[in-house]
């Protein structure tokens, strides 16, 4: 099986996404969505950004490589009666099922960054966006001191070395790489803008409980723990991550979690 698909189907990202709903909504409110806008949400998970876009009246297609997340997204949309929000399986590196220039807005928040072959991903993002439309990506930033970049950094130190030719997803958080990838898709640098933005992970229990969700349900952390168990270092990994989650928690309440994480917001106008 495609290892990228296996990674995300192995866990259950809906458990983590529960802590991301408020920021997902706030982010989508900044997109200037109006009724009837055709939106593609790529690497949509269970709809953290797709559902808010549909609530604002957009016609939304969520595409994700993980079957379990596509099913969860369709269930959430049906529960809310959002007939304008559909989810289907697809791979950001090859969106052959989608027509050229068919979306006004293509959104990928911490989604397409996880696909291999970033040059292909950039080409597909540009191909499916209509002329005069927009692409908005949210990408974690390598070596950033906040939560997700640190989880991925710590986890990779315990995981086996990646296969040869592997391109780190975190390179989507480096502006020069983003410019180069979109240049390869025919979009000049002046059509790309960058901003730092923040996503807050809110959870109604202490940070250790959110970490527990990452350990049990977030593919990259699950893999790191599996590898650390084999090398007898699982307790060290747990300790490092506990320290991280505790030190980043900004909730004034001891029994709750509120952790901000910085990301690179990329806007492309092809
Ligand atoms: C960190 S989650 C983010 C999900 C969602 N955008 C959110 O913010 O809640 C990453 C998502 O990207 C999806 N993904 C990873 N590789 C992909 C690929 N090649 N094509 C499409 N989706 C992919 C995963 O299945 C997962 O749902």
In whole angstroms, what is the distance from residue 171 CA to residue 113 CA? 8
Task: Establish whether residue 93 lines the binding site of ligand 1, counting it when its CB lies within 6 angstroms of any ligand atom.
Answer: yes
Angle between helices 147-158 and 234-248 (to 10 degrees): 170
Nearest ligand 1 atom, CA 41: 6
Q: Please name which of 122, 107, 111, 172 lies closest in space to residue 144, comparing C-alpha atoms.
A: 172
- Residue 167: the pLDDT is 94
- Residue 131: the pLDDT is 95
- Residue 162: the pLDDT is 87
Ligand 1 binding pocket mutation candidate from 9, 43, 52 (most atoms within 8 A of CB): 43
pLDDT tens digits, one per residue of 5-18: 999 999 999 999 99
CA–centroid distance, 21 to ligand 1, in Å, is 15
- Residue 163: the pLDDT is 86
Q: Residues 71-82: what's their mean pLDDT?
A: 98
Is the pLDDT reported for residue 92 higher than 90? yes
Task: Establish whether residue 172 lines the binding site of ligand 1, counting it when its CB lies within 6 angstroms of any ligand atom.
Answer: no
Task: Establish whether residue 107 lines the binding site of ligand 1, counting it when its CB lies within 6 angstroms of any ligand atom.
Answer: no
Q: Give the gyration radius of the chain's Cα atoms.
A: 18
Contact by Cβ (8 Å): 19, 257: yes
CA–centroid distance, 130 to ligand 1, in Å, is 22
In whole angstroms, what is the distance from residue 249 CA to residue 23 CA? 16
List the structure tokens of 48.
Answer: 């953290």
Is the pLDDT reported for residue 245 higher than 90? yes
Q: Please name which of 70, 158, 65 lies closest in space to residue 117, comparing C-alpha atoms.
A: 65
CA–centroid distance, 232 to ligand 1, in Å, is 30
Task: Establish whether residue 92 lines the binding site of ligand 1, counting it when its CB lies within 6 angstroms of any ligand atom.
Answer: yes
Is the pLDDT reported for residue 187 higher than 90? yes
- Residue 108: the pLDDT is 98
CA–centroid distance, 158 to ligand 1, in Å, is 22
In whole angstroms, what is the distance from residue 258 CA to residue 266 CA? 24
In whole angstroms, what is the distance from residue 198 CA to residue 80 CA? 27
Task: Establish whether residue 91 lines the binding site of ligand 1, counting it when its CB lies within 6 angstroms of any ligand atom.
Answer: yes
% of residues, the chain, pLDDT over 70? 100
Q: Which residues pair with 108 in a beta bridge?
A: 137
pLDDT tens digits, one per residue of 203-234: 999 999 999 999 999 999 999 999 999 999 99
């Amino acid at each position: 099986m495609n290892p990228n698909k296996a990674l995300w189907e192995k866990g259950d990202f809906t458990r983590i996404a529960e802590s991301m709903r408020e920021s997902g909504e706030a982010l989508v409110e900044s997109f200037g969505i109006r009724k009837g806008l055709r939106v593609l949400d790529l690497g949509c998970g269970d709809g953290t950004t797709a559902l808010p876009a549909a609530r604002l009246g957009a016609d939304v297609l969520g595409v994700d490589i993980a079957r379990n997340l596509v099913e969860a997204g369709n269930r959430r949309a049906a529960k809310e009666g959002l007939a304008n929000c559909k989810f289907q399986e697809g791979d950001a590196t090859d969106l052959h099922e989608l027509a050229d220039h068919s979306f006004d807005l293509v959104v990928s928040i911490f989604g397409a960054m996880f696909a291999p072959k970033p040059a292909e991903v950039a080409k597909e993002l540009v191909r499916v966006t209509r002329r005069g439309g927009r692409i908005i990506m949210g990408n974690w930033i390598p070596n950033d001191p906040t939560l997700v970049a640190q989880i991925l950094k710590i986890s990779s130190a315990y995981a086996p070395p990646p296969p040869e030719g592997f391109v780190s997803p975190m390179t989507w958080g480096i502006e020069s790489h983003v410019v180069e990838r979109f240049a390869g898709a025919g979009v000049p640098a002046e059509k790309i803008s960058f901003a730092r933005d923040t996503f807050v992970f809110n959870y109604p229990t202490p940070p250790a409980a959110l970490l527990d969700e990452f350990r049990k349900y977030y593919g990259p952390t699950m893999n790191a723990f599996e590898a650390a168990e084999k090398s007898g270092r699982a307790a060290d990994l747990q300790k490092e991550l506990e320290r991280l989650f505790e030190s980043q928690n900004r909730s004034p309440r001891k029994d709750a979690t509120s952790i901000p994480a910085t990301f690179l917001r990329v806007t492309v106008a092809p």
